[in-house]
Chains A and B, each alone.
Chain A
């Protein structure tokens, strides 16, 4: 549906996006992940033609093209920088924003009420946005971005500002959108939620692709197929854990347990040897690495732990 080809964007001295290439396929939920400053928002803004790439090209599928131009009525966008007209009634605001996406007033009105009903705030439709709680304002913004049933929706941090229950509701709605035919590009920090709903994930670092694929493919690429949770009765050589290039480790501040993940090419036997040489093991628990683990391993949290020590 959309593909980046060697796209580069430079801001004065900072290269925000560096020869980035990726493709979002129709009907999938594609997650863009990376630490702050990785180039996610710049990529999204280029995709929306809010800014131009310096080099490379962005290709749009025929379904997003109308009269040889990008058809923005078929795109939905929830920006990371949130904001909505505070002094205007909720329903009027939604109808206006929907009209900018080409909906008629009648369509927009009935669709708005349907969405407000789904979120349980239909009785507030006539109230000013400013009277809503922050969470409910976020819901209104989410509705504004998908009210017109877009073919392609970009959701930048869709879970931020929501409590866990509402995060679940939003993730359910994102899946429902996908099931109804909307292709979704999502950028979020809630790893568990992203892992559960994303079909494919792209990890960005310094504007470049670090790795991409399904969860299984990411585990394979990162080598973080397994992770070991280790508790030491006596840690004799902590440097074996913190200064070893073959593994990634994070210590839980609360429990004192160590999460140890092998890097690519490191066998489980080698991993066990490293751990046993570090100290007396009290308990050992093995599990499959999740997105959070891969993210931590990819972006070098180990170094931060070491520096804190």
Chain B
């Protein structure tokens, strides 16, 4: 019956993980989704096959333009001048043609069609092109000269920091932040459910008589973080499978993936992992003080992890401001701001290292503070502690005498 804190923490971790991670349900859900995707794909292919048929447009009047100019395009133009207006109308009514184009003069034309269509934009481009050619001929202008006049200017970008990241790196940073937010929010939801239901089902006293609040919350933080990360990993695997399918179909994704900087990948993963642990520790402490999640004002804390993400967007404007440099290191915001800075500007090697150290220290501190709040909050029924009380618990601990490291009993 000999045991130790690590073993018990692991027991709690496994229990909490298994309580909420139902992989069979997840697989069933994914298969159902895949089934819908296949059915939707088949229906979509059939529908889009019809939608992308080249439209047939009869030109009732070419105006000043040469009919030869209307050949060789996505739209199938037909010479409508060979038909009488009544015959043309009959063809339109029988849906043998999709529209009737009438060009009044060099500047005006009209298209008769049942309703707005996507290909009308292409028709406008064709008409503009035909009109430009017509005008060049009319004014006897050299097309080469025209191209020269209308050509844009090339601007070479000479960055002091050099080319810090590739497009795949930037996509990776975006995906990493998205997945982290997903893991944190899933963890939040399960942490709330786990802790508030244990309070409501009066399970706490029995567990706390066996293990210390700190051991219990440690196991919960690890287990629930595991659930969030497992879901993210599952969806990542689904995404990778999708990429494999695309590569198999000939899309050169492997060349794009090869451009990803492995150091970025490792840094993002570590920030994501420790960031999720930090937020789950934070939330476990908050959840322990909630008596009824439906009415508690503390439920609003669920939105807090969105703050760093919104700050990360500010880096797009200028990632090199003092504020962004500080927020990239500040543990509450670094998990989103640092990856954004790393792919947008040059970052000194020590900055991600300091960010990782600080976020790890904060996660540890949150764990201790959450343990202190948890110890008292879990035994409190019917009312919620106020902020003053919570701060007092955080500063001095609670009145519980129980720790696994042991309060010295009077033997």
Contact = CB atoms under 8 A, between A and B. Distances in A.
Nearest to A46: B401
Interface in B1-57: 1-3, 8, 11-12, 15, 19
A99 B19 CA distance: 16
B105 interface: no
Interface in A21-68: 46, 48-52, 57-60, 62, 65, 67-68
A235 interface: no
Contact of A73 (B1, B400, B406): B1
B314 to A, nearest CB: 43
A81 B205 contact: yes
A120 interface: no
Contact of B8 (A75, A85, A100): A100
A145 B8 CA distance: 17
Contact of A85 (B203, B205, B407): B203
A244 B315 CA distance: 86
Contacts of A77: 205-206, 209-210
A69 B406 contact: yes
Contacts of B379: 50-51
Interface in A64-103: 65, 67-70, 72-73, 75, 77-79, 81-88, 96-97, 99-103
Contact of A83 (B8, B201, B211, B401): B201
Interface in B312-357: none
Interface residues of B, number: 32
Contacts of A82: 202
B contact face: mostly helix, strand, loop, or mixed: loop
B400 A102 contact: no
Interface residues of A, number: 42
A99 B8 contact: yes
B207 interface: yes
Contacts of B115: none
Nearest to A83: B202
Contacts of B408: 68-69
Contacts of B381: 81
A58 B207 CA distance: 21
A102 B210 CA distance: 9
Contacts of B399: 51-52
B8 A58 contact: no
A77 B207 CA distance: 9
A102 B201 CA distance: 24
A75 B208 CA distance: 12
A4 B409 CA distance: 12
A70 B206 contact: no
Interface string A127-151: 0000000000000010011001000
B411 interface: yes
Contact of B206 (A58, A62, A68, A97): A97
B209 A75 contact: yes
Contact of B410 (A46, A59, A83, A85): A59
A84 B201 contact: yes
A96 B401 contact: no
B78 interface: no
A51 B401 contact: yes
Nearest to A156: B205
B210 A70 contact: no
A60 B409 contact: yes
Contact of A72 (B198, B201, B209, B411): B209
Contact of A50 (B198, B402, B409, B411): B402
Interface string A87-123: 1100000001101111100010000000000000000
Given A73-B3, A100-B8, A88 B401 contact: no
Contacts of A51: 379, 399-401
B125 to A, nearest CB: 61
Given A83-B203, A102-B1, A69 B401 contact: no
B172 to A, nearest CB: 38
Contacts of B407: 49, 52, 69-70
Interface in B258-283: none
A48 B201 CA distance: 20
Interface string B177-195: 0000000000000000000
B409 A58 contact: yes
A86 B19 CA distance: 11
B203 A100 contact: no
A57 B3 CA distance: 27
Contacts of B19: 85, 87-88
A100 B401 contact: no
B209 A148 contact: no
A152 to B, nearest CB: 11
A83 B206 contact: yes
Contacts of B207: 97, 100
Contacts of B411: 59-60, 62, 65, 68
B210 A86 contact: no
Contact of B209 (A48, A57, A87, A88): A48
Given A58-B410, A72-B211, A100-B11, A50 B206 contact: no
A99 B409 contact: no
**What 5 pairs across the A-B complex have the smallest Cβ distances?**
A83-B202, A69-B406, A102-B3, A77-B209, A79-B205
Interface of B: 1-3, 8, 11-12, 15, 19, 198, 201-211, 379, 381, 399-402, 406-411
9 contacts: A46-B401, A51-B399, A58-B410, A69-B408, A70-B407, A72-B209, A77-B210, A100-B8, A144-B206
Given A50-B209, A68-B408, A101-B210, 16 more contacts: A49-B402, A50-B205, A50-B208, A50-B400, A51-B400, A52-B400, A67-B406, A69-B406, A70-B409, A77-B209, A77-B210, A79-B205, A84-B201, A87-B19, A97-B207, A141-B206
